[in-house]
Amino acid sequence: MLGSFATIKIEYFHASHYGNGAMVAEEFEKQMEARGVKVGVHHVRDVKPNEIPPADLYLFSSPGRMGRPIGDMRSFLKKAALPPGAKYAILTTEPAPKPDKKTGRIPTDEEQCRWQRVIPIMNKMLQEKGLVKVTEGKIYVTDIKGPLEEGWQKKVADFASRITLP
C-alpha cells in the first residue's frame, strides 16, 4: 500500500484511441483519489515527452495493436525525459482472447504471450531508460472499439491496490 498519501503524486499517460483506455484512466484516478492520492491523467498527444511533470510514480497505458503498443505510445516512450530510478507501472487495454475457430479452445496465457507483446515492449523501453517497475496489469477489450470486459472496474481496483511506494 502507499506510504503517506498526502505526499504521493502519480502521473498517468495513456494512448487511448477509442476511449477504452481513457475510461480505465478515469477509474484509476477515482480509485486512487479515494485513497488521498493525487493523479494527473494525460493523453500522450497532449504532453510533450520532454516536459513530463515530476511524480512519485509514472503510469503508462496503451491499447494493443498487432501485438504491440500503438505508435503514439511507442513514440512517447522513446522520447520521454524521465529520471533514471523513477518508478513506473503499466496498465494496458488489450484484445480479449478469442476461442479457436476450429477447436473452440481459449488460448493459454503462454500462447497469448507469443503474439501479445504490449507489456514486454513497454517494459523494455522504460527499463532501458533506467526506470524501476512497480507493477503491471491488463484490462481486456471485447472488440476493437470496446466495450471493456465485464468486471473491469474491479480489475482496476485490484491493480490500484498493488501500487506501493515508500
Q: Tens-digit pLDDT profile for the chain (166 aa)?
A: 444 445 789 999 999 999 999 999 999 999 999 998 999 999 999 999 999 999 999 999 999 888 899 999 999 999 999 999 999 999 999 988 877 788 887 767 776 666 678 999 999 999 999 999 999 999 999 998 999 999 999 999 999 999 976 6
At residue 48, the 3 state secondary structure works out as coil
Record the pTM: 0.89
CA-CA distance, 130 to 135, in Å (whole number)?
16
Identify whether the C-beta of residue 99 lies closer than 8 Å to the C-beta of residue 112: no
Domain ranges of the chain: 5-161
- Note the CATH number of domain 5-161: 3.40.50.360
User: What are phi and psi for residue 7, nearest 5 degrees?
Assistant: -105, 0
In which element (H, E) is residue 90 found? strand 87-95
